[in-house]
Every structure is written in C-alpha cells, then in structure tokens.
Amino acid sequence: KNEVEQSPQNLTAQEGEFITINCSYSVGISALHWLQQHPGGGIVSLFMLSSGKKKHGRLIATINIQEKHSSLHITASHPRDSAVYICAVMDSNYQLIWGAGTKLIIKP
Amino acid sequence: DAGVTQSPTHLIKTRGQQVTLRCSPISGHKSVSWYQQVLGQGPQFIFQYYEKEERGRGNFPDRFSARQFPNYSSELNVNALLLGDSALYLCASSSPRYGQLYNEQFFGPGTRLTVL
C-alpha cells in the first residue's frame, strides 16, 4: 500500500464544474503539499497545509489531521486548470512523499 | 525576483557517462532538494541540502551525489549512467524559518535527462 493515495487517478469534467481531488496518507507528517504539474514537467506549489483550510482564488485545500485526509477543490473549473495535481506529504525525515497524481481534464 | 533555475534544460548522454545538473535557488532560500521523476510516475526524493549540509537522502545508489555551495546553489552528479536514469530531474528550494523544520518548496522547471 502506498503511503500517499490519491483519488481519482483521472478526472474529466465540463467547464464550470466543481472539482474535488482527494488525498489520504498513512505516515506521520509535518505538512502536506498540493502541487500542479503541467505537460512538460513544470511543477507549481499550490498550497502547503498543516491544519485547517486554505483558499487561493478558485482553489481551496482542506486537511483533517485526525483522519489523515486532504482534499483539493476547484470551483468554476476552466480548461486552463487541466493538469496533473499531486499531493505530497513531508514526513518526519523532511522528505516529500508523493502521491501518484490526478490527471484532470476540463473540457470547454 | 527570479524563481528556481536549473541548467541545462535538456541533456542527452550515453550509458556509462557522468552528468552534472545545476540548480540555483530563490534568493534567500538556503535549502535545496532534488527529485527524480521517471515518465509516468510521481517524483522520488533524492537529496535535501540545508546550509551546505546533507539533511536527507532518498533510496538512490551511491552513483548519485550532490553538494551545495556557499551561495546555496547546488549540483547533482550521477556517475555510470544507466538507461533507467532517464528522467526529469527537479530541484526545489525552500526557506525553513527558525524553529520550523519544513516550509513550502518552490520548484524549478527541471532538467530532462535522456540516457541512450
């Protein structure tokens, strides 16, 4: 079993839909990251969370430490949101353990 | 302010050769981490350096080595290249604050290494 599990693996939605990507982890963590990776490889950090909820524009990230679960939400999705979204947790050895990613496609 | 920069952007080598990849962190960031991302998979942690010292090492063979310079830039070296070393190599910098052992990481564009 992977230490960081994401679901779904692939998600296709219509423009404007509300998107939810889930992340569950099994290790003790000091922080959880949500990252976005576009074709070609560039990775952008979206959020770093250790508790609660953060919002940035149309993106919202939540984390429940007790349940070891985090969600990334995208409101009013747009084709430019199409990318791979990756959940990564920083463990007690300061290493980022990565989920496999969720490939999101938003159709116009 | 410039983000994390990496060089070169693309590189082609043959088996058995050696390669050096370079990373310049965001100004003021003292921590640099290296990741390997094989096509179709998530990134794997290779090294983290903080204040020129190795803070963490992933499960990679001794063919992989790195160092951090006084200006906090970093080099990743891979010796005796194998076909399986073909990947995107990502560098990330961060600035852990006093009393905090972690902080948000900012990623460079990566170096795509192809081993023939």
List of chain A residues whose C-beta atoms are within 8 Å of the C-beta of residue B104 = 33, 45, 48
Please judge whether A95 and B58 are an interchain contact, meaning their C-beta atoms are less than 8 angstroms apart. Answer: yes
Q: How many angstroms separate the CA atoms of A4 and A27, rounded? A: 8
Nearest-CA distance from A99 to chain B in Å?
7
Q: How many angstroms separate the CA atoms of B68 and B23, rounded? A: 9
Q: How many angstroms separate the CA atoms of A97 and B93, rounded? A: 16
- Minimal Cβ distance to B56: which of A45, A86, A94: A94
Residue B96's pLDDT band (boundaries 50, 70, 90)? low
Pull the structure tokens for residue A57.
């524009």
- Minimal Cβ distance to A94: which of B102, B106, B109: B102
C-alpha A63: how far from its chain's center?
A: 11
Higher pLDDT pick, B37 / B75: B75
Residue B2's pLDDT band (boundaries 50, 70, 90)? confident
Given a cut of 50, whether residue B99 has pLDDT beyond it is no
What pLDDT, in 10s, does the model give residues A42-99?
A: 788 898 888 899 999 999 999 999 999 999 999 999 999 999 999 999 877 667 788 9
What pLDDT, in 10s, does the model give residues B47-75?
A: 989 888 988 888 899 999 999 999 999 99
| Contact with chain A for residue B86, Cβ under 8 A | no
Q: How many angstroms separate the CA atoms of A72 and A6, rounded? A: 11
Pull the structure tokens for residue A102.
């969720």
Contacts made by residues A58-66, CB under 8 angstroms, sequence distance 24+? A61/A34, A63/A32
